[in-house]
Chain A
Amino acid sequence: MDSKENLKPVLELRSLHKSFGDNHVLVDFNLKLFEGENLVVMGKSGSGKSVMVKCLVGLIQPDSGSITIKNQDIITMGHKELDLLRTEIGFLFQGSALYDSMTVRENLEFPLRRQTHKVADFESTEALVREALENVGLSDTMDLMPAELSGGMQRRVALARALILKPKIIIYDEPTTGLDPITAKEIIELMRNIQKKYHTSSLIITHDVDCARVISNRMILLVDGTNYVEGSFDELSNSKDPKVQAFFKN
């Protein structure tokens, strides 16, 4: 832990507050994501996990608090800079959010269309799309529509789309929810491979204990809108606190 204190976080949330009317979703939430780690945030359904990550990428304006990504404050940032920063963050949506009027290929090309300078660094759009699909093991679905894919395949295409610009920070919002245990394991395996291959820092939102056990270096529990406890999986799963235990009992 001491060595971590010296590291600079790539992403930091300080004292985040967000309410929808009388519904106080986030009350003083804090989080630091360090380089190269897999941080898991667990919380009950409706506890505000999705709201938190949407604040992170500027989709929701928080009421107060600060958000810094790579030492840049995203709340005060202009539109252009924010769009640029967003290309360095991969975001996997809870419901995949594939563009259903486009083919798989067009879905993957979409994040590239304003990033011509980035594409030039690699060979071509075509090669990038092919590589991204190979990474998730779906090379032969290139010209299918999202509706023609199963839920697990859609999740993998969404993963490929989130990763196509080779972001250094990846945010996964419930990557395994709604999938059967075997497909869920495959997705977790993919996430680990990608982390190994590209040395990314990941923020993983989940309420799947198995997923957390396999992938986490560190965990934060989100309870009542705040970061209730923090620690490794083993520390938290052996905790005596009934609120913490509730997450790990089956």
Chain B
Amino acid sequence: MAKSTSIKTRSESFFTEIGDMALFSGRFFKEVFSQPFEFKELLRQSYNIGNRSLLLVGVTGFILGLVFTLQSRPTLMEFGAESWMPSMVGISIVREIGPVIIALICAGRIGSGIGAELGSMRVTEQIDAMEVSGNNPFKYLVVTRILATTLMLPLLIIMGDVIALFGSAIIENLKGHVSYMLYFNQVFDALSFSDIIPATVKSVFFGFAIGLVGCYKGYNCSKGTVGVGEASNSAVVYTSMLLFVIDFIAVFVTDIFFEI
């Protein structure tokens, strides 16, 4: 009995949280279109986010390309289909693996950072201080961060994809003696708009999710240093979960529109 109530209350609080988060994003859409706009802060946040994740995304993308190609080579060779390598790697990285892996990395890097930063600002009453000084902290802190992640994630993902393909091309060049020119020609032949556009749209939503959950967790952080750790940790957990949900929905919708 005790166990069932605890599950009941836990699932209740889970759904309350989802509702709160929906309200939070509603407030974002309300405030994003109202004056005054915080352009300078938006630029600063975008720069910060890009700058903080650039190296990480680059290294991850590169290794992803190397490993993916190395692993697939033997199987493709068994079927005598090595020449399919560029198209296969291109399509899987651009459509699925690139966006998901890079978004997950960014959830760990950016989402937890935002959660911790806003959380500690909440706990040390800096957010209250902004409000008392007649500024709108939601606008200054939350709107700028969510916009920044929404703008930057697609860029980071495109960059990561390109680096991953480059890593893959190196392996093909070394092992299969395929020239870089030929490799990239084949990749671009295989890719169509029905691969690139859904993937980019998806990355926009990924970016929004990372910013939203990080800000929500930090902005509503409970008191104490425990609260800050909790905020940054649960930001990552919730975002990762949400990323897969969004990914599923995106694939589902793409399937309807483009009939892949």
Contacts and interface: CB of A to CB of B under 8 A. Distances in A.
Interface in B116-148: 117, 120-121, 124-126, 128-136
B129 A114 contact: no
Interface string A95-114: 10111110000000011011
Interface in A76-94: 83-84, 86-87, 89, 91, 93-94
Interface size class of B (residues with CB under 8 A): 10 to 19
Contact of A113 (B124, B131, B132, B135): B135
Interface string A8-45: 00000000000000000000000000000000000000
B126 A86 contact: no
B134 A97 contact: no
B80 interface: no
Nearest to B131: A59
A54 interface: yes
A115 B134 contact: yes
B126 A99 contact: yes
Contact of B126 (A84, A91, A97): A97
Interface string B35-57: 01000000000000000000000
A87 B135 CA distance: 9
A111 B135 CA distance: 7
B36 A59 contact: no
B134 A111 contact: yes
A91 B134 contact: no
A95 B125 contact: yes
Interface in A101-149: 101, 110-111, 113-115
A203 interface: no
8 contacts: A83-B136, A97-B126, A97-B129, A98-B126, A99-B121, A101-B117, A111-B133, A115-B134
Interface of A: 54, 57-59, 83-84, 86-87, 89, 91, 93-95, 97-101, 110-111, 113-115, 161
Interface of B: 36, 117, 120-121, 124-126, 128-136
